[in-house]
A and B are shown apart, each in its own frame.
Chain A
Amino acid sequence: MAAKQRDAATTYSPRIIARTRPPIFKDSDLDWTRPDGRGFHQCRPALLQTGAVSSASGSAYAEFGNTKVIVSVFGPRESKKATSYSDVGRLNCNVSYTTFASPTLGSQGTDHKEYASMLHKALEGVIMMETFPKTTVDVFALVLESGGSDLPVVISCAGLALADAGIMMYDLITAVSVSCIGKRLMIDPVTEEEGCEDGSFMMTCMPSRSEITQLTITGEWTTPNINEAMQLCMDASSKLGDIMRDCLKQAASASDE
């Protein structure tokens, strides 16, 4: 099973859900392909590496198609902000973009505070905060190149970096997003698709517990669509979790040798 997984490595596309009833609309008006020629339920190839930054307690580099992200984790260490005593640890997240991350100028400094707070919300449920009282874990994410689905890649990469840093977690954390354009659901959208989507669906979950830690939906969605998107994300998440686990195992066995 594990060997089979490795053969198919570096992609985490969910299995196609067999439709029980024929589509109501013929696909003639939706007769287009995705900008990078993928299938609607096909994810971009994922490259994951740990130990990207030597000075950090743990770090990871993720490359999902054109989206390239580096995340480093520092700590647990003394809290910078002199705040009151706390018997659970604190988590501090920061997401920044390089100036050359996206083609448009002046797009920096807009939505990264909200990315940071979303990253924080996604991670706080997974980390065992009580294992590092009085101290802070800092998670710094840097988007080197923005190619769509930036936040899910940042979250997944942060999960890997936290595991690399040896921070206690209930499970690995994976995030997958789905875009809805017209009647179509497409997983792992690229920037062009995100620009014209009718709705976006981002789910963060713990793959082996199949528990959703964070969910954000925007745009107009019907319940069957949400159902289908959730299934797609759960399936993709569990596969992405396997890839991440393999990546961590490889790093561990390499350091043993």
Chain B
Amino acid sequence: MVGVSVGEQNFIKGGIAQDLRTDGRKRLTYRDIYLETGVIPQANGSARVRIGGTDVIASVKAEIGRPSSLQPDKGKVAVFIDCSPTAEPTFGGRGGEELSSELALALQVCLLGGKSGAGAGINLSSLLIKEGRVCWDLYIDGLVISSDGNLLDALGAAIKAALTNTAIPKVQVSAEVADDEQPEIDISDEEYQQFDTSSVPVIVTLTKVGNHYIVDATAEEESQMSSAVSISVNRAGHICGLTKRGGSGLDPSVILDMISVAKHVSETLMNNLDSKISAAEACEDES
């Protein structure tokens, strides 16, 4: 937890009210985003995102699994987040568990879409290999290395980049087998397929401090927040998920206003991220 004195508190709040924050940014400006892909060789895809002092890594691992009986025509995706004690001593032991599960839940809400798959960042049907028998299980793991606010947006961006970086081996299902038998599969080591990540939404968190809200809050600014709304927006400008943090209530009109601001901000963020991701991918291909 950051210790902020009363003087500093007033400085932060006053700055936000005047649209000039302590680090010189405006209310709706992001810090510089640094993005790197392919950082973990063991994973099928990975990315590291640094936004100011916030540093996160996301990795995607794919494993052959079995579709659940309730949804035999879909693969499975699971999101786990780990908050490393290197980020903050309080994350040691079970201390980070609460934050980890909160972040994982928020990411699931923001990225995985509705029950029917509408608005999902990942098309679960594309993970299917043979209906009811074999599918890919995607494990998305996020690791918080250093925390300086705005973890959810950073993790969302890292997951988007990691998914773009992901290559899944092509799979051949051997000729027809009896219905109740597990079919034999042949995993290719040469041919890989990539995901279409154009529909993966970006997450924009608007943190309300005083009467105003800001994007990309630092840890100090977050300590002064009354509530925060995380909105995930896809390329079409549709809302794919929304969660709220923080105790204090919000007026419905404020939330609608936040949604329209988030939509506006998400456009620039999405373009920025996409160019960063393709630059990082090109850089990785060269090396």
Q: Which residues of A contact B (CB under 8 A)?
A: 104, 113-114, 117-118, 121, 124-126, 180-181, 194-200, 205-206, 209-223, 226-227, 230, 234
Contacts and interface: CB of A to CB of B under 8 A. Distances in A.
B252 A220 contact: no
A228 to B, nearest CB: 11
A94 to B, nearest CB: 14
B255 A230 contact: yes
Contact of B260 (A200, A210, A223, A230): A223
Given A212-B244, A218-B241, 14 more contacts: A117-B98, A197-B114, A198-B116, A199-B113, A209-B249, A211-B251, A212-B252, A217-B243, A218-B240, A219-B114, A220-B113, A220-B114, A220-B239, A226-B256
A218 B251 contact: no
B4 interface: no
Nearest to A230: B252
**Chain B, interface residues (CB within 8 Å), range:** 35 or more
Given A214-B244, A217-B239, A199 B251 contact: no
Looking at B70, B234, B243, the one whose CB has the most chain A CB atoms below 10 A away is B243
A156 to B, nearest CB: 16
Interface stretch (B6-14, B101-109, B131-139, B266-274): B101-109
A216 B109 contact: yes
A33 B51 CA distance: 49
A198 B244 contact: no
A11 B226 CA distance: 34
B83 interface: no
A118 B102 CA distance: 9
B25 interface: no
Interface in B186-227: none
Contacts of A194: 115
B14 to A, nearest CB: 25
Dominant secondary structure at the A interface: mixed
Given A220-B234, A230-B256, A200 B249 contact: no
B238 A215 contact: no
Looking at B243, B245, B252, the one whose CB has the most chain A CB atoms below 10 A away is B252
A218 B243 CA distance: 9
A226 B239 contact: yes
A200 B242 CA distance: 10
Nearest to B263: A223
Contacts of A199: 113-114, 118-119
Looking at A114, A194, A199, A227, the one whose CB has the most chain B CB atoms below 10 A away is A199
11 contacts: A125-B248, A125-B249, A197-B116, A205-B249, A209-B249, A213-B249, A217-B242, A218-B113, A218-B119, A221-B239, A230-B252
Interface of B: 70, 98, 101-102, 105, 109, 112-116, 118-119, 229, 234, 238-252, 255-256, 259-260, 263
Contacts of B263: 223
Given A125-B249, A211-B251, A226-B259, A219 B119 contact: yes
Looking at A104, A125, A210, the one whose CB has the most chain B CB atoms below 10 A away is A125
A196 B255 contact: no
Given A219-B240, A222-B239, A196 B101 contact: no
Given A117-B101, A206-B249, A223-B239, A195 B244 contact: no
A74 to B, nearest CB: 21
Contacts of A219: 113-116, 118-119, 240-241
A195 B114 CA distance: 9
B260 A220 contact: no
B158 to A, nearest CB: 21
Given A197-B114, A200-B114, A124 B251 contact: no
Nearest to B102: A117
A223 B251 contact: no
Contacts of A230: 252, 255-256
Given A114-B101, A117-B102, A125 B259 contact: no
A180 B105 CA distance: 21
Contacts of B113: 199, 218-220
Contacts of A223: 239, 256, 259-260, 263
Contact of A216 (B70, B242, B247, B256): B242
A200 B101 CA distance: 21
A198 B250 CA distance: 26
Contacts of A221: 119, 238-240
B244 A117 contact: no
Contacts of A218: 109, 112-114, 119, 240-241
